[in-house]
Structure 1
Amino acid sequence: MYQEEKTFNLRFQLEAQFPEEYNGEEDAHAWENDWETRIKPEIIKAVFNALRNAPSWSAHIRNRGMSALDEVEIAMTKVFGDDQTLNGS
Structure 2
Amino acid sequence: MPNRGTQAREYERLNAGDLVFFNGGPVLNDHIEHMGMYLGVDSDGRHRFISSRTKANGPTLGDTGGDSLLDGSGHYGVRFRTARRI
TMscore range, shorter length: under 0.3
Structure with the larger helix share: 1
Q: What TM-score do the two structures reach when normalised by structure 2?
A: 0.23
Give the greater-gyration-radius structure (CA).
Answer: 1
Q: Which has the higher contact order (CA 8 A, sep 6+)?
A: 2
Structure with the larger strand share: 2
